[in-house]
Amino acid sequence: KRHKFWETQPVGQYKDVGDASLTEGPIEPPTPLSEVKQEPYNLPSAYEWTTCDMDSSETCDEVYVLLKNNYVEDDENMFRFNYSKEFLRWALRVPGYYRSWHIGVRAKTSKKLVAFISGVPARIRVNEEVVKMAEINFLCVHKKLRSKRLAPVMIKEVTRRVHLENIWQAAYTAGVVLPTPITTCQYWHRSLNPKKLIDVGFSRLGARMTMSRTIKLYKLPDSPVTPGFRKMELRDVPAVTRLLRNYLSQFVVAPDFDENDVEHWLLPNENVVDSFLVESPGNHEITDFCSFYTLPSSILGNQNYSTLKAAYSYYNVSTKTPLTQLMNDVLIVAKQKDFDVFNALDVMHNESFLKELKFGPGDGQLHYYLYNYRIRNALKPSGLGLVLL
């Protein structure tokens, strides 16, 4: 499929794949700040740019409602992501964020928010290079304004505003194939509430399986089995940062988290992110860590249920407890917290526990992209240490 817009951008092009002469690093050099376009790109005349101040509960609510009604759906249009307001505030007001990167589009007459795109700053390591990047997310155009070519101009506008802050690279994911993924991940689901998942059509009853047999298959203990397994607390930030930095150093692409980042991204935040660790009962050493974020989905067109409560695997580190046992404890806690399903990508070492813990493969793929940065060797999902929201 031709990518009219993406063929004009500094991203890996299909023709470059396998060209050993191309080195790893930026595709284009930075532009002198004086040469960066100072004024916003032009929108169709009926629309205007707006900066979404997520501190404002009113604006945060507008972004929430736009995404709730118009953001990503699964391939069969049965579910739509329903990020909560507190999740959006967490995802957008990150250490060192720029409010100008929270970009909305309003209809001039009604002032209705009809589109959104966001960027947040992140330090991402690619092999040995730590690169300042923008993580781009939540690109959403109202269903009624699709194919008005708004997305390309919104991508150019967020790129312009990122350039104004002297940042020249970005990271993003998509369910669609664009030029050119750095890797392509499979997603997997572990049923926690199989009856509801089958009722809403997320899962199907297995062949020769009864409902009661299925419920029994996915049953979990009432509480975690690992001694010293507990919720993360503020006092654990230094130790978790050390543990996580060391663990992530083995992957080709991974965030370069410092204590400030760990405090924001991994400290428990109710209904947003949950994190646990294993503290050795003897010497109080923190040997393992696990976390998941909360991303419900609206269930489109089901009489009995309106929301699918889903947990998404985030960052997990095992140095003493076997990863499979650690992740089983995470499933136990997620079930305790009434999640219906636990989702994971086949990134990092996740593949080692997926089958044993009864995850089933999802019906789609998630592609990861870098903007204006070429990676020398193709990456397997197991080489990726970056989880985006």
Ligand X SMILES: COc1cccc(CC(=N)NC(=O)c2cccnc2OC2CCNCC2)c1
Query: Which CB atom, from 190 or from 374, has the smaller least distance to ligand X?
Result: 190
Angular region, 138: left φ>0, alpha ψ -120 to 50, beta rest: left
Please choose, from the candidates 191, 203, 193, the residue with its C-alpha nearest in 3D space to the C-alpha of residue 79: 203
Closest CB to ligand X among 81 and 218?
Answer: 81
Q: Give the C-alpha separation, 323 to 277, whole Å.
A: 12
Distance of CA 24 to CAs 17, 305, 360, Å? Answer: 12, 48, 35
Instruction: Give dist(CA 311, CA 335) in Å, integer.
Output: 10
Residue 150 CA to residue 80 CA, distance in Å, equals 21
| Residue found by looking up tokens 């970005």 in the block | 170
Cα–Cα distance for residue pair 161/8, rounded to 1 Å: 18
CA angle 278, 235, 315 (to 5 degrees): 50
CB of 115 to ligand X, least distance (A): 18
CB of 292 to ligand X, least distance (A): 10
Taking the complex as a whole, the smallest distance from the CB of residue 352 to ligand X amounts, in Å, to 17
Choice between 79 and 101, CB closer to ligand X: 79
Of all helices (H) and strands (E), which one includes residue 265? Answer: helix 259-266
Measured from the CB of residue 117, what is the shortest distance to ligand X in angstroms? Answer: 14
Distance CA 84, CA 296 (A): 8
| Structure tokens given for 201 | 């059509």
Tell me how far, at minimum, the Cβ of 172 lies from ligand X, in Å: 9
Q: What token pair was written down for 245?
A: 């930095």
Q: Which is nearer to ligand X, 47 or 79 (CB)?
A: 79
Cβ proximity to ligand X: between 43 and 185 the closer is: 185
Comparison of 39 and 338: residue with beta carbon closer to ligand X: 338
Q: Which is nearer to ligand X, 23 or 77 (CB)?
A: 77
Whole-angstrom Cα distance, residue 79 to residue 343? 14
Point out the residues that are catalytic: 389
* 299 Cβ neighbours under 8 A, 6+ residues apart: 78, 79, 200, 305, 306, 307, 308
Q: How far is the CB of 247 from ligand X (least distance, A)?
A: 20
- Judged by the rule CB under 6 A, the positions of this chain that interact with ligand X are 72-74, 79-81, 173, 175, 187, 295, 297, 308, 310, 312, 343, 345, 362, 364, 366, 388
Shortest Cβ 94–ligand X spacing (Å): 16
Report the alpha-carbon distance of residue 242 to residue 285 in Å, rounded: 12
